Every structure is written in structure tokens, then in C-alpha cells.
Chains A and B, each alone.
Chain A
Amino acid sequence: MRRGTLTPYLLITPAMLLLLAFGVLPILVAALVSLTDMNISGLANWSNVEFIGFENYVALANDPDFWRALGNTALFGVIGVPSIVFLSLAVALLLDRSDGRIARALRSFYFVPAVTGIVAISLVWGYLYNTQFGLFNWVLSWFGIGQVQWLSDPWLAKFSVALVAIWRGTGLNIIIFLAALQGVPREYREAAALDGAGEWRTTRSIVLPLLGFAIFFVTVTTTIAWLQFFDEPFVLTDGGPLGATTSVSVFLYKEGFRLNQFGYASAGSLVLFVIIATITLVQLRIRRRDEKP
């Protein structure tokens, strides 16, 4: 009897240990460091580190650059999440209509950006976007349109960077939607067809409701990814021009690893953690309410 109660705990121990070591512990360490003035000289000699209470958080609240990064991240999320969910759902629905050779080739084609290295992507897109020698401006020049500053104009750069991330982010989500579409029972579609429902009506009333969980899952993971948005602005613009594409993650990276303000950066990362956790919990709560009407 006693052995029986212990077994489940024994079985989840490895997973729990990993979660504690690589999930919970770093957050606790960051929380502790965020209350100190830790910088590189503190790293060299622990006696240089002092507890300063919530000063880092007060400083964050008064840092216009941090608020700007928060605003940028919010904008990226507002552009990025609906675009990725809508685009990948649309592409998946279209790909699902056929199982021919072309459709199968296209499936791999859409997945390629997701498995390509971000550095290679940034090099290629950097050339596409280049003001003087870029492909986009070259094509535009046929129509007599002058040089567009894709990555140099503070407003346009936000959208250019977001576009690369959308292009890169759709692949994986298309696969998730395609897998979910396999799970839509053929009988339902047939029943709908017998009732005289057209393609559009079937998709809206049968397929989309059955994809509810997949759409929810993609929305949550995509939201988290956009709140942590880092790779594209880091490699394409380094957060520039003039901070226009600095997301919270890029801001934290610069504070932490370029300015060596580990305490300050830890405080910021904790704020970001709380924001992400809150938004995700709200999404879960909404989902649960929808499930039991």
C-alpha cells in the first residue's frame, strides 16, 4: 500500500528535478539578484554586491527606454499574433484540401523558414531590405518608386522586422493546424454536405469549432513568443534605428550583457515574466469560461 502511494512521486521526480533546476531556480536567483546592485565588479568579488531593496524596480518604472521597449513589444504582439494565427490557419486550410504531390511539396516549403538558422535568415533579409542594393528597392525602382528605408525609418523598421518574424513563425503553426485538421472526422463533413452546406459554411460551422483547441494553443504559444521577441530585431537592426525596434528582451539583453547591470536586467526580466504569466493566465481563464457555457 505504502509502495503504491510512493510510485507516482518516484515517476515524476526526474521531471520535477529538471523543472526545479532549470525553471524555478533561475527565476528565484533572478528575483534575488534583482534586489541587488550586481554588476561585473560584483561578479569578481561578492563583497561589492549590496542589497538595494526595490530600487531597481523604481528605476525601471522611471526609465523611458524601458517604457518604450514595453510599447514596442505590445505593438509587435498586436501586429504579430493575429497575423500568424490567421495566416497559418488560412494556409493550413488550403493545404488540407488536397493531398497531391504539389500540396505535399508546399507543406515542406512552408516549413523551411521555421528550420532555417536565424543568422542565415537575417543575412538574406538584410540584403532584401538593403536601401542601396536590396532586391525590394530594385523592384520598386521599376515602378519609379524611390529608395524605401526598410530598416532605417523608425516606423517602417518595426513592420519590416515584424514581417520577418511572421514569415518565420507561420511554418510551425501550419503544421500544428494541419495535424489538427486530420482529427476532424470525415462523417461530420459528409453529414454537413448531405444537409446542403457549402464549402464555406462547412469550414465555418464544422471545421473551425473543432479546431478550437488548436487555435487556442497556437494563440497562447505565439503570444508568449512575441512577448519574448528577440532574434529578429537583434540580428537585423540591433534594436535600432534609435531604439525603434527594441523589444523588452533586447532591452534586457543590452542592460545585462552590454552594460553589465545584472541586477537591473534581472528586475526587468522578472517584470517581463510577470506580464507573460498574467497574460497567459487570462487566456486560460477565458478559454475555460468558453468551454462550459
Chain B
Amino acid sequence: MKRSITRSLAAVAATGLAVSLAACASDGGETTEDADGPLTVWIMGDSGANFEQLVAPFVEETGTEVEVVAIPWDAIDERLTTAVASGSGPDLLQIGLSKLRTFADAGALMPLDDHLADHPGLAAENFPDGVADATKVGGETVSVPWVSDTRVLFTRTDILAENGIDAPPATWDELREDAATLSARGDDQYGYYIPQWDSPLPVIMTWTFGGDIIDGDGNVDFDTAEFAKTVDLYTGLYADGSVPTNSDFDQTQGFISGIAPMLVSGPYLAKSIADAAPELDGKWQVSLVPGDTSRTSLFAGSNMGVWHNTDQPNGSLDLLEYLSEPETQLSWFDINGELPAVSAALQDDALVSDPLVQVYAEQLADSHVLPLVPNWDGATGADLLAALNAIVLTGADRDQTLAELYSKTEGTSIN
């Protein structure tokens, strides 16, 4: 009797040891047993149903169920806060690039560097130059590019031609001149539109003047000659009377009605125009953003990351690799219209046969990611817009306002 108790104690001890060994192994992040159950994926916006269609082949092949949760863009901050606070999140999630740093700082994302060797599909060389590097946070890979988005110049070719402009402007000086010509068409007519909420636009302008808003040490620095040129351009367009000053101007309506026949915007505008005014087909076009030194635009879009304490890291990484396959990326473009992030998919012949996509792909090849400062939307970007708009809308003193911007953003760093 006594012996059997000893034996069962030994068995319990052995099991305990095995369990703790397994726990050690999972800490190392090398070989882990996944928990059972479906993989939960957070997809932004309203494309949840499309995403289920996209992963159907993966589900069939691996037998792993995928549960898709569609999160409205507006609700993402609240969802992140509750998920971080409660410690329970999804397995895989889509992250808009402007939110990436916030997510990473909150410790919500699993570092992927140790896993890249096992999953060659996630390696940096699969994506356009520098994008994977630029989306590292603190030197760690915490996500991989998923869909891409950029900004290009939209022009109403019919209106430009009527006013003696043959080609879309290639430099900002040309654009300013053309915009002045177009706004001379009459009262309440404009040449160009600057969205007052568009914080990447001044950054794009700075890039195309050959500058950057980040100095060599990774700190935000607006006190440069190139940014000064950007301020000249931004305030100049307002001073010329070439852009509307009301904040509730509707860019789609403005473009369709011809009130503002030129603007820099993303592929989503092309979709809105095609939906709202199919009769305009052939009367508008997209082209690379204007630029003096370069024609560099914004690399926007979304990345995919693995939730930090997922109990199915292997399954999540497999799904992530499946999503990064060129075929998956191309079928996502077919289903949902979002541009691929993988270079091989971006060069696909069928994809670039669309003249719009051809411009997007060309623009994506020369585009930068916004610097991953701790909070672009809420802090740095908001301060930048507040300063520029104060100068143009309320006539604030330029030097003083810029000095305030410099001191406000001083010490903000991407590191």
C-alpha cells in the first residue's frame, strides 16, 4: 500500500517536471505545442466576410478553423486598450501603419525575428525596398506588411486641357502655377485641394524636396531647409487662393464637380470616383506625386502581426505565411481591391495591366513609411497640422508658430 503511494507520487512528480520543461521550451519560443481551437483574426474595416473567403483554402488544407472579427477603424483604439488591459487578444491582427508603434509599445505584438528562418515567406526581401526595415520597432520585427496603399496625384484631364494645361504637373512649382490658373476660372473655383486632416501630405512634400523630418539620430526635426520649402509651398497655395479654406470640403465631390480638379490622395479615391461618377471615366487620371528632387510618396497600408501571448504561435505564423504568398495577395486584390504588399505580387502582369495599378505600383516602388514615432496621429502629426493650418487659416505668425512646432516635437524619436 505504502509503495503504491510512493509510486504514484513519483508519477505526479515526473508529470510535473515534464510540464515545467514544456513551459521552459515555450519560453524559448522554439518548439511549442499549439492549443486547440480556431485562430482568431482581427481584420480592420468591413472586409471580414471577404477575408473568410480568402482563407478558405488555408482552412481546407490545414484543418485549422479561422474566426474572423471585423473591427471598425474608429474602434481600434478602444479594442486595443481593452485587449491589452484584459490580456486576451486575437491570434493574428491587422495593424494600420500609423498605429503600429502604439501596438508595439503596448507590448501587444510578438517579436518575429526568431521565427523568420523557419518561415522564409515572411523575410524582409519579399517586400519593397526598406519597408520591412522601416516597420521594425526598436530594431525588432513585430509585424509583416500585408496590404499597401500610397498617395498619387489625381487630375481632371478634361478641365486641365480646357485651361491649356496638357499634362499633369511634375514639379510643385508647376502644380502651384497650374492651380492658380485653374482657380482663376471663377468664384468658388479652386485649383488644388489640401485636406486639413492630411498630416502625411507635408511630409511627402518634404521628401520630394530631398529632405526628411527625421534627423540622423532618429529624432523628429522640422527645422530644415527642405521643410521650410514645404511651408512655403503649403502657405503659398493658400496665399494664391488656389485651395478651399473650409474644413468640411468634400474631396470626392470637389473632384467630381470640378471645383478642385487636382489633389493628392490614395487609391480609395479612385474607387469613390468610379462608383459615384462612372460618366467621368477617361476624364481623369492618376500620376506620380510632383517633386523637385524626387517623386517620393507615402507608403501607407497595413501590416499583420501575431498577438503577444497567443496560445497558437505556430498556427498563427503558418497563416501569416499563407497570407504573404503572392497568390494569396493577388486574390485579396481581386476580392477586396487592396493592393498587395509583396513585391512578387506587385510585379504580376495581370495586376499591372490596369493603368491605375501600374501608376500605384510605380509609386509604391518610390515611397517611404511615415516615421514610427510613438503617436503620429495624436501627437506629432496633429502638431504639424495644427501649426501649418494656424498659419494659413488664422494668419498666425509663421516664425513663431514654427518655433513652437520645433519645441513641441523636440525629443520625439523613432527609437
Q: Report A's interface with B, CB cutoff 8 A.
A: 40-41, 43-45, 126, 129-133, 146-147, 149, 151-152, 154, 237, 240-243, 254, 257-260
Contacts and interface: CB of A to CB of B under 8 A. Distances in A.
Contacts of A43: 81, 84-85, 106
A250 B380 CA distance: 19
Contacts of B393: 152, 154, 241-242
Nearest to A157: B247
B413 to A, nearest CB: 16
Interface string B287-325: 000000000000000000000000000000000000000
B260 to A, nearest CB: 10
B379 A241 contact: no
Nearest to B389: A242
Contacts of B108: 44
A120 to B, nearest CB: 17
Contact of A241 (B107, B244, B247): B247
A129 B389 contact: no
B378 A151 contact: no
B249 A41 contact: no
Interface residues of B, number: 33
B259 to A, nearest CB: 7
Contact of B77 (A126, A151, A258): A258
Contact of A254 (B78, B378, B386): B378
B386 A257 contact: no
Contacts of B106: 40-41, 43-44
A154 B390 CA distance: 10
A130 B248 contact: yes
A41 B85 CA distance: 9
B183 interface: no
B263 to A, nearest CB: 15
A260 B102 contact: yes
B347 interface: no
B107 A259 contact: no
Contacts of A149: 245-246
A186 to B, nearest CB: 52
Given A242-B390, A254-B378, A132 B107 contact: no
A175 to B, nearest CB: 33
Nearest to A64: B404
B85 A152 contact: no
B111 to A, nearest CB: 15
Given A44-B107, A154-B394, A242-B389, A131 B248 contact: yes
Given A40-B84, A154-B393, A257 B78 contact: yes
A258 B107 contact: no
Contact of B254 (A126, A129, A132, A241): A132
B113 interface: no
